[in-house]
Structure 1
Amino acid sequence: MSFISETLRQKIRTRAGNRCEYCLSHQDYMMGRLQIDHIQPLAKGGSNTEDNLCLACELCNQYKWIQTVGVDPESGETVSLFNPRQQEWINHFTWSTEGTEGTEIIGLTPCGRATISALKLNNNLAVTVRKNWVTAGWHPPN
């Protein structure tokens, strides 16, 4: 069992802008509360320190679980998954265009593509929900 103080939890939420740091879903549009994720899982030697914690939606957190590496579907290479404390989202991902604008996350790098695959960032539920967010004018985020 890990203990993360409410002060640290709030700091992580604020730093993330109340968005999942993997799929960028905003807390205002989620049924459940965004969760604190251990980038390097405790089971693999990670800690409860601020530099190892990020905000994640339930789907991303469940799919990530204890994964720290994934396979780039283009090259077949095993690479580290996206680390929101060490990398910028925009350098590894972008939003789809042309008919599916803002509904799918596109990987720009091996890390991005492996993360999309491992965390199933474009699963059917996520894409369907994003379509509705786009229609409402809530998505994609800037």
Structure 2
Amino acid sequence: MTGAYIPLALRARVIKRAASRCEYCQSPARYSPEVFEIEHILPLATGGKTMLDNLALACPACNRYKGSRQSATDPQTGNEFSIFNPRVQRWSDHFLWSDDLCEIIGATPIGRATIDALRMNRPAVKNFRAALKALGIHPALVG
């Protein structure tokens, strides 16, 4: 979570780099009723800095569920893994879309642990994805 002031120019760079999408669940900020947040991947409380390489665009729910966590349990193996880091990992290496494009599937232990910890398939966001899909604007192509 962020409590630090982030300069407007830095915020703009984070938003542009993320293509205005949550870097975790891929929800588009443009169609969300909530204002997206700039979050510290490595929290300030654990030594993270307010710099471009430590910032990500996150929807409020992903940011809230992530909080200061840096790891989570993979529900398939029961082992602890780091939460997905959008600065050093590629989204498509850890996540896949379900056949109906409304659910995110973990392709790796990191993906599964992140989905579970951030509740990336909560009913409201799945409904949001279905509505965006019906409008032809979901999913985005992510790397």
Question: TM-score, normalised on structure 1?
Answer: 0.95
**Pairwise CA distance, 1:140:** 1.2
**Pairwise CA distance, 1:46:** 1.1
Encode CA deviations 1:53-83: one digit per residue, 9 max, x unaligned.
0000011111111111000111111010000
Whole-angstrom distance in 2 between the partners of 1:60 and 1:120: 7
Pick aligned residue for 2:39 from 23, 31, 37: 37
Cα RMSD of the aligned pairs, angstroms, is 0.9
**Pairwise CA distance, 1:109:** 0.4
Matches within 5 A, 1:1-142: 1-97=3-99, 101-142=100-141
Whole-angstrom distance in 1 between the partners of 2:139 and 2:19: 14
Q: Which amino acid is the alignment partner of residue 103 of structure 2?
A: E
Question: TM-score, normalised on structure 2?
Answer: 0.94
Q: For this pair of structures, how many residues does the alignment match?
A: 139
**Pairwise CA distance, 1:85:** 0.3
Whole-angstrom distance in 1 between the partners of 2:9 and 2:78: 41
**Pairwise CA distance, 1:44:** 1.8
SS in 2 for 1:43: helix
Whole-angstrom distance in 2 between the partners of 1:88 and 1:42: 23
Identity rate of aligned residues, in percent? 45
Whole-angstrom distance in 2 between the partners of 1:128 and 1:19: 17
Whole-angstrom distance in 1 between the partners of 2:92 and 2:21: 14
4+ residue runs over 4 A deviation: none
Whole-angstrom distance in 2 between the partners of 1:68 and 1:81: 6
Structure 1, unmatched stretches of 5+, are none
